[in-house]
Structure 1
Amino acid sequence: MGRGRQKAKHTKIARELKSFSPSVNYAALERELATHSDEDNYVDKWADQYEDEDEDEESLERA
């Protein structure tokens, strides 16, 4: 009997999600997309905090 209730609950949630349509602020989205350049997409913001693994392997091979 518990499976029937669980299935009904999942069906109810699925119907709610299917009909859900959030409002989108297209002006804000356009501003956000326009401010980023292609160079920003390839910048690794964490690169300065960690050493490259390749450098460690090269130093071990030289030794």
Structure 2
Amino acid sequence: MGRGRQKAKHTKVARDLKYFSPDTNYGALAKELGTTSTDPRLAEDLEKWPEFSVAPATDDDEYVDTYADQYADDEDDEDESKSA
């Protein structure tokens, strides 16, 4: 017994979390997501320390297979050994 009070508390907490919307700090969100800033001080800092700037990513970078050329012939060898 006694489950009713515990369930009521959990329901209240769940409802509070569902409908509570805190004030969103869009500046902090933009910084976390890495969007570009219009702050001139940032541009000056990036000119002073270029090693800390982030290079723009290309769409193909994450899908490049660095070993594709090296092991391209291995697939043919496996097929021949299975058929023999």
Whether these two folds match at TM > 0.5 is: no
Ranked by relative contact order (alpha carbons within 8 Å, sequence separation 6 or more), the top structure is: 2
Q: Please give the TM-score of this superposition, normalised by the length of structure 1.
A: 0.44
Q: Please give the TM-score of this superposition, normalised by the length of structure 2.
A: 0.36
Q: Which has the larger radius of gyration?
A: 2
